[in-house]
Amino acid sequence: MRRPCDRPRPLRVVPAAVLAVLVVAALAGVLAGCRPLYIPPVPKSLPTPAVAQLGDASSLVVAHGTLALHLVLTAIPEAGWLAVQWFAPDDTEAASDSVWVAPADVGQGRTLLLPARVTLSAGEWRAVASLRGQVLRQFRVEVPSPAGAGAP
């Protein structure tokens, strides 16, 4: 049985100001984790570095019993050594060569030949052209077996 002094206690009402402060503090804590770690999060624009480029007329061909690499530079940002590494069918470096190029050489063709000391064998040969440590392009050509060679 209930006694008269055992009446239920009224619920305690939290003042609206305290409740508002708690909500703002909780939102601030949650939103603080969404901030970027650096400012600005995305740069407006980055400068595009000027790079050397080879034209479409550049090619590697078998000519007169040797390899001929014809290079046409369409862009040269600064002067430097244009290096070429020649790779044999067994993927070893057979030779290397270089030629000095400058911005004034844009559009002019340069032809580099596989050195005469290197024996040209049948298989896939590659030439890699680079300028100032940046690879410009890799070329490949299939050197056919000599006529009459091979299995009967």
pLDDT tens digit string along 15-32? Answer: 778 888 888 888 777 776
Judge if the upstream peptide bond of residue 40 is cis by omega within 30 degrees of 0: yes
Q: What is the pLDDT of residue 6?
A: 67
pLDDT band at 145 (very low <50, low <70, confident <90, very high): confident
Q: What is the pLDDT of residue 100?
A: 94
pLDDT band at 96 (very low <50, low <70, confident <90, very high): very high
Per-residue H/E/C for 62-97: EECCEEEEEEEEEECCCCEEEEEEEECCCCCEEEEE
Q: What is the pLDDT of residue 2?
A: 59
- Please say whether the beta carbons of 70 and 84 come within 8 A: no
Q: What is the pLDDT of residue 15?
A: 76
Per DSSP, the three-state class of 18 is helix
Cα 40 to Cα 35, 36, 44, 45, 80, distances in angstroms = 11, 8, 9, 11, 36
What CA–CA distance (Å, rounded) separates 62 from 135?
22
With vertex at residue 37, the alpha carbon angle to CA 32 and CA 39, rounded to the nearest 5 degrees, is 110
Higher pLDDT, 32 or 131: 131
Which residues, 6 or more positions from 11, have their beta carbon under 8 angstroms from its beta carbon?
Answer: none
Higher pLDDT, 65 or 129: 129
pLDDT tens digit string along 28-85? Answer: 777 766 665 666 667 678 788 888 899 999 999 998 889 999 999 999 999 999 999 9
pLDDT band at 91 (very low <50, low <70, confident <90, very high): very high
CATH annotation of 53-143: 2.60.40.10
Q: What is the pLDDT of residue 118?
A: 92
| DSSP secondary structure code for residue 141 in this structure | E
Cα 142 from chain centroid (whole Å): 27
Which residues, 6 or more positions from 8, have their beta carbon under 8 angstroms from its beta carbon?
Answer: none
- Residue 151, pLDDT > 60, answer no
| DSSP secondary structure code for residue 148 in this structure | T
Q: Which long-range contacts (CB under 8 A, 24 or more apart) does 33-36 make?
A: none
- Residue 10, pLDDT > 80, answer no
